[in-house]
């Protein structure tokens, strides 16, 4: 079975996908981490993220793998653990132009489909149900209020999780800065020519603004049970 979870940045896709993979014992495919890995490699090599040709060469040349560490799933690029490095503000800015390059998406989608062909998988991103796995048995479009998404991302950068800690707070200036970046990314991702952010026609919409992770996970697992 393939479970596709799409939605904007900060909507909780990654946290929910991790929980489903752990609870159901299926493979987790973090597509966002893959595009972030390309963006990070571009930055480390001094490549302008807006240089489509160079970014595509990077995407085709690197090997991205997922592993398991003490804190959960890890992201490995060419044998190096980049789990933390791909979550910086610099990568946040670089990932949108990189992921908008058609040739980059083509390279990543090929890797994603290869992983999906190996067995049951839950994948999260922005074009899973529309492009990567249009035949997925379960498709979900997960969203949340922009302010809630900004708070979650700010708390995440502090090493905590607002999705599991209802009392989590963050510096107001940081939250505002992240909110502005999220709105910019929403506009960019929704209007790009290559695989724009949009829900699949048959996706189930879930608003996670006032829901706990367990509530969202339970709702998606119920959809999985219906589809099986």
Find the largest Cα–Cα distance for the chain: 48
**Rounded distance, CA 170 to CA 177, Å?**
12
pTM over 0.85: no
**Rounded distance, CA 100 to CA 198, Å?**
14
CA distances from 92 to 2, 96, 184 (A): 27, 8, 11
Show pLDDT as tens, one digit a residue, over the chain (228 residues): 999 999 988 888 988 999 999 999 898 998 889 999 999 999 999 999 999 999 999 999 999 988 877 777 899 999 999 999 999 999 999 998 999 899 999 999 998 998 889 889 999 988 899 999 999 999 999 998 988 888 878 887 776 665 555 566 778 888 888 899 888 888 888 887 777 888 999 999 999 988 889 999 999 999 999 998
Span(s) in the chain for CATH 3.40.50.300: 1-26+122-218, 27-119
Paired sense of beta strands 2-6 and 138-143, if any: parallel
Strands (E), the chain: 2-6, 27-30, 64-69, 72-77, 80-81, 121-125, 138-143, 204-207
**Rounded distance, CA 28 to CA 32, Å?**
12
**Rounded distance, CA 46 to CA 49, Å?**
9
197 torsion bin: left (phi>0), alpha (psi -120 to 50), beta (else): beta
CB neighbour class for 52 (10 Å; exposed up to 12, middle 13-18, buried from 19): middle
Q: Which CATH number does 27-119 carry?
A: 3.40.50.300
CATH fold for domain 1-26+122-218: Rossmann fold (3.40.50)
Q: Are 187 and 198 in contact (CB under 8 A)?
A: no
């Amino acid at each position: 079975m393939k479970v596709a979870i799409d939605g904007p940045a900060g909507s909780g896709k990654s946290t929910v996908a991790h929980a489903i993979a752990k609870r159901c014992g299926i493979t987790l495919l973090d597509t966002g981490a893959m595009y972030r890995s390309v963006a990070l490699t571009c930055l480390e090599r001094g490549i302008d993220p807006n240089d489509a040709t160079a970014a595509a060469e990077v995407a085709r040349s690197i090997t991205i793998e997922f592993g398991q560490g003490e804190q959960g799933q890890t992201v490995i690029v060419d044998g190096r653990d980049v789990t933390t490095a791909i979550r910086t503000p610099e990568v946040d800015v670089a990932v949108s132009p990189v992921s908008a390059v058609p040739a980059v998406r083509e390279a990543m989608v090929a890797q994603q489909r290869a992983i999906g062909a190996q067995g049951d998988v839950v994948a999260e991103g922005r074009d899973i149900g529309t492009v990567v796995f249009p035949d997925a048995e379960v498709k979900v479009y997960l969203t949340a209020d922009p302010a809630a998404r900004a708070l979650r991302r700010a708390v995440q950068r502090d090493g905590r999780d607002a999705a599991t800690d209802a009392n989590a707070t963050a510096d107001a200036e940081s939250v505002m800065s992240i909110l502005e970046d999220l709105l910019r990314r929403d506009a960019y991702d929704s209007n790009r020519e290559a695989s724009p952010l949009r829900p699949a026609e048959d996706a189930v919409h879930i608003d996670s603004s006032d829901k706990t992770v367990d509530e969202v996970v339970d709702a998606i697992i119920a959809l999985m049970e219906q589809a099986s």
